[in-house]
A = this chain, B = another copy of it.
Amino acid sequence: MHATTTVRIGISARHVHLKQEHADILFGQENYLLTNFKDLYQPGEYACAEKVTIQTAHGKIDNVRVLGPYRPETQVEISKTDSRGLKIAPPVRNSGDLDGSAPITLVGPAGTVELEQGCILANRHIHLSPKEAEELHLINEDIVKVEIPGEKGGILYNVHCKIKDSYKKEMHLDVDDANAFLLTGKEDIGYILKD
């Protein structure tokens, strides 16, 4: 069987997920509350008004957006391009799979958090509700290929399917994939290939 279906694409700029304890240090207040700046497409997820600097011994990037809500572990997601300036080699990982990921330091207006690990290149992935997944005969952590149309189009391999009640169908790609494939950030779509 060869089924194809369209999927909207969301481009993930570099960002940081924080645990409560780290936000308290970075922003200098116990039980600090993140400020919802803008809801994201995935229900319950939001970009925050808060930004931090991420740095290593070799480089830094200012104004990296924090995403809410809080997570059990602090996680920094960057692109391969970003990693070259920081001179670190983060592994390609599922969100939350941080063992052995790259060390990085976060600097906020009130304090600094040195992470021994937590920096990753997020793998290419698709969020799906259980119903959307069932229609596509996909189960959690299935790996699919996705075709991207356009002048610099092609097929992306190793796209991980992530299924959760709160999710809506959307593929997340990092900025390197987005720029390589000339995605615009507006109404980009891909085609899930199953074979």
Produce 1/0 per residue, A66-83, CB < 8 A to B.
000000000000011100
Interface of A is mostly: mixed
**A81 touching B157 in the complex, CB below 8 Å, given contacts A124-B152, A151-B92, A152-B92:** no
Produce 1/0 per residue, A19-45, CB < 8 A to B.
000000000000000000000000000
The distance in angstroms between the C-alpha atoms of A155 and B181, with both chains bound, is 11
When C-beta atoms are compared, the residue in chain B nearest to A177 turns out to be B180
Question: Cβ of B92 and Cβ of A179 under 8 Å apart?
Answer: no
When C-beta atoms are compared, the residue in chain B nearest to A153 turns out to be B157
A145 smallest CB distance to B (angstroms): 7
A88 smallest CB distance to B (angstroms): 14
Residues of B within 8 A of A174 (CB): 180
A114 smallest CB distance to B (angstroms): 26
Interface residues of A (CB under 8 A from B): 79-81, 84, 92, 123-124, 145, 151-158, 174-177, 179-182
Q: Would you mind naming 9 contact pairs between A and B with Cβ atoms under 8 Å apart?
A: A79-B179, A80-B179, A81-B175, A81-B176, A152-B156, A155-B155, A176-B176, A176-B179, A179-B180
